[in-house]
Structure 1
Amino acid sequence: MAGLILRLAGPLQSWGEHSTFQERDTQPYPTRSGILGLLAAAQGRSRASELTDFLQLRLTVRVDRPGVFLTDFHTVGGGLPRHQTIPTAEGGRRPEKATTLVSRRHYLADAAFTVAVEGPDELTGKLAAALRHPVWPLYLGRRSCPPAEPILLAAGVADPVAALKQAVPLSRARPREQSTVAVDFVYETDIRDPHARTHLLDVPVSFDPLRRTYRPRAIKVRTEQLPAELCCGRGVDQMKALATYATRISQEEE
């Protein structure tokens, strides 16, 4: 069973889990629903498509750079006549002096994550092909958050979780006079696990807007010591290291 290595990095990311109306949250790391939504978009699945095959996938997230939390304020509906403003839940219109709605949208700025995707070879193979030639544009949680580079870093990796710990370049500066660096990992676990750090409502049952449904998932966050030599810095050095790794894995896959 081989897996995929995904790299999720960009100017902005937003991985909502309990967003409601004017308040759009983000988790400090990618959610399962966000990653599976990205894979579904690559394959061109409709929002009404079945997602049962995705239950076979297991995700492990490595936090290369946690990024900085950012809040953006949006206003909607201001300056319009009442009949053109946002409808209320009852189907009417807001009073003329209250037509403007303020929403807060939360993002991670300059964050970078590397994700191991484990699953049956047939499924991960199809996902790899879709990520190389996506049907629909891919984004990091929200449509306003495009990725900074190709998302698929490697396919056909025999043990993608081990690769995150031993081989995949780490997008951060190398510490001086240290042989290891502390890195957070987000693992999926059993919902009854007493060591689970939190429970997220982010396992998609349906993305259909008329019957959007999610199930809970347990995760645990663990800090592990990785070889400092994995740190590849930023900018050109980072891109060279990632390209070298991706090329090597691609040659091994062939």
Structure 2
Amino acid sequence: MNQKTYYYDSLTDDIVESRHQDYQLPSDYQWLPRGLWQSLIRWLVRTGATGFAFIYTRLFCGVKIVNLAKLKPFRQQAYIIYGNHTQPVNDVFMPLLITNPYHFYALAAPANWGIPIIGKLLKYGGAIPTGQTQSQLRSMIDAIDQLMHQAGHLVIYPEAHVWPSYTKIRPFATSSFRFAVSHQVPTFVMTTTYQGKRWTGQPKIVVYLDGPYQAPTNLKTKAQQKWLHDQVSRQMQQRAQLNTYQQFNYQKEDANQ
């Protein structure tokens, strides 16, 4: 059977576009739940999402998570996890099984807020939209500052765009590490790999957790960000060597065509 091929111009391309790609956040968007009623909705959404995550991640996808114990000592304090972005659905729900689900947050593209019904629940599930304007960027930073002070567990996919079952690590910016440095919190690496095939014909998904990393405080801010970037990138590249199965083909477009 022929493998599906994804074509791209650059390793930073968004190759999986949705109908809601151009969705714009409202100017009065509330970044974090507030009050007793919204806190109750938050608890219900996260509890339900965690149950779904167990069914989908563990039972349906059969994901194996290696080194989960590395996070246990940090369960009641703030930390950040950086992962490669290769699973459109599992990358949304799996972190609920890895982190404390009631401390979980994740950066996500605003396009997700355009999805009917689900978009309205994302805030309660811990999703933080990446700001589209200067004002929204400031609000996003303020929200992350607040959740870091509340022992939040923040998941960031620095590659930004999902490339389904991609087995290499794409380049990402050092700016992704600004929060880890500004809050001096432990940094972990979450690398998804694809190893052989199960009886279903689908690849076995094995996720590795590594860390913690924390940049030397004697370095200047930009240097600390680069230090973390290099550590995370190097660790992801190392784990990516464990891939043994490629589900899809990825082919660079010929500029001469």
Q: Name the TM-score class by shorter chain.
A: under 0.3
Structure 1 or 2: larger helix share? 2
TM-score normalised over the length of structure 2: 0.24
Structure 1 or 2: larger strand share? 1
TM-score normalised over the length of structure 1: 0.24
Return the index of the structure with the highest Cα Rg.
Answer: 1
